[in-house]
Structures are given as C-alpha cells and as structure tokens.
Amino acid sequence: MRRFARERRAAFAVATAALVGAGAHVAPAVGQTPDAASEKPAWDQIAGIKGAAERLGRLHRARGAKAAYELIENCYKTHSLASTYGEGFEACIVQDYLETRTLIQVYSRMPPDALEKAGVPTPHMLAESMGRRVAQAFGQYQKSQAYAENVKKLTDEHGLPVFLTIVFPEAVRAHEREKSKEKKPQ
C-alpha cells in the first residue's frame, strides 16, 4: 500500500511540475522573456478559470473522463489557431490540468494490474502527456514560468474547488463535515 501512495505522490509531482515548469521550456529557447505587463490577461482570469472548471465538471459528471478529454483535445485544436493567447486557450490548459490531476489521484489508488486490465494509462503516463501538451500550449504563445505558475496557483485556489464540488459532491460534503467536526470544541 505504501508503494501505491509513493507512486501517487510521484505522479502528482510530475503533473504539477509539468504545469509549473511549462513556461520555462519556451521563452529562453526563442531568446526573449516576456515582461510582466505584456502577460497580464485582458480578462477576469479567476472568472475564466471558474467557468472552465464548471463546464468541465458538468461534462465529466454527465459523460465521464473520455468525453472530458475529447473536449480538451477539441479546445486545444480550436483555440491554438488564434494569433494571440486568450481566455479560451487558457481554459484549455486549466481543464487539461484539472482533469489530469483528478485522474492521477483516482488511478494512483489502483494497482497497476487493475489499470492495465481497465485499459487506462498509468498516473505517470497521464502526467507526462499533460506536461507535453501544457508545455506546448504555453510555449506557443511564449508565456513565462511566472505566468504558468500563476495559472496553476489560481486553478488550484479557484478552479479545483468548483470542479471537485461538481464531480464529487458527496466527497466534498463529507470532507466539509469532517472539517467542521474538527473545528468544534469537544
């Protein structure tokens, strides 16, 4: 059981590093680092992240992970055609991160032979493939490491709770009950 927990932590660390490190893979390669002012989004970034999380959560809840990944793939295909980085393209990254992060958590609790039997990728494979997609996404528009880190931070703070509340409402309620019990003096 410890091995599975260790593998889960390792796979999640790879996914997190992929998202946070994605910006660093590109800006130095093209010889320019965007300044902070040029990277400030022209949209309400938190609202965009919450909206992306809500749309993905509703789809995942209704039709499952396969439909969620189809949405993400189509999102990247559509929004990568834009000449500039925008809210729609950032939604693709946010949704990719949320879905992959969640599946890593779920699949890392399963023994490797059960994953193989179910025909699903390992947590490590999920993390690596998301890392490549996200690196390419941030790289296409030369987004910096700092920008990528901020997107991850905002997604964890604002998008993840929205997504989890929709996809796993019973688990969220149970967790909140446990937290409230801990806060009450005995």
Q: Which two tokens stand for residue 23?
A: 């910006």
- Minimum mean pLDDT range among 15-19, 95-99, 110-114, 118-122: 15-19
pLDDT digits 0-9 by tens, 122-174? 999 999 999 999 999 999 999 999 999 999 999 999 999 999 999 999 988 88
Q: Where are the domains of the chain?
A: 2-30+43-183
- Minimum mean pLDDT range among 16-30, 36-50, 65-79, 99-113: 16-30
**Residues 143, 27 contacting (CB under 8 angstroms):** yes
Q: Looking at residue 175, what is its pLDDT?
A: 80
Distance, in Å, from the CA atom of 106 to the CA atom of 115, rounded to the nearest integer, reads 11
- Minimum mean pLDDT range among 10-14, 50-54, 99-103: 10-14
Residue 32 has pLDDT above 90, yes or no: no
Residue 31 has pLDDT above 70, yes or no: no
Distance, in Å, from the CA atom of 26 to the CA atom of 169, rounded to the nearest integer, reads 38
pLDDT cut 90: percent of the chain above it:
69
Positive or negative, the CA dihedral 46, 141, 134, 22 is negative
Confidence at 37, pLDDT banded by 50, 70, 90: low
In sequence order, what DSSP letters do the residues of the chain get, joined into one string? -HHHHHHHHHHHHHHHHHHHHGGGGTGGGGT----HHHHS-SS-HHHHHHHHHHHHHHHHHHHHHHHHHHHHHHHHHHHTTSSS--HHHHHHHHHHHHHHHHHHHHHTTS-HHHHHHHT---HHHHHHHHHHHHHHHHHHTT--HHHHHHHHHHIIIIIHHHHHHHHSHHHHHHHHHHHHHHHS--
Global pTM reads 0.80
Residue 109 has pLDDT above 70, yes or no: yes
Mean pLDDT of the chain: 85
Q: Looking at residue 76, what is its pLDDT?
A: 97
Q: How many residues does the chain have?
A: 186
**Residues 14, 135 contacting (CB under 8 angstroms):** no
Residue 7 has pLDDT above 60, yes or no: no
Cα distances from 149 to residues 9, 86, 183, in angstroms, run: 19, 17, 32
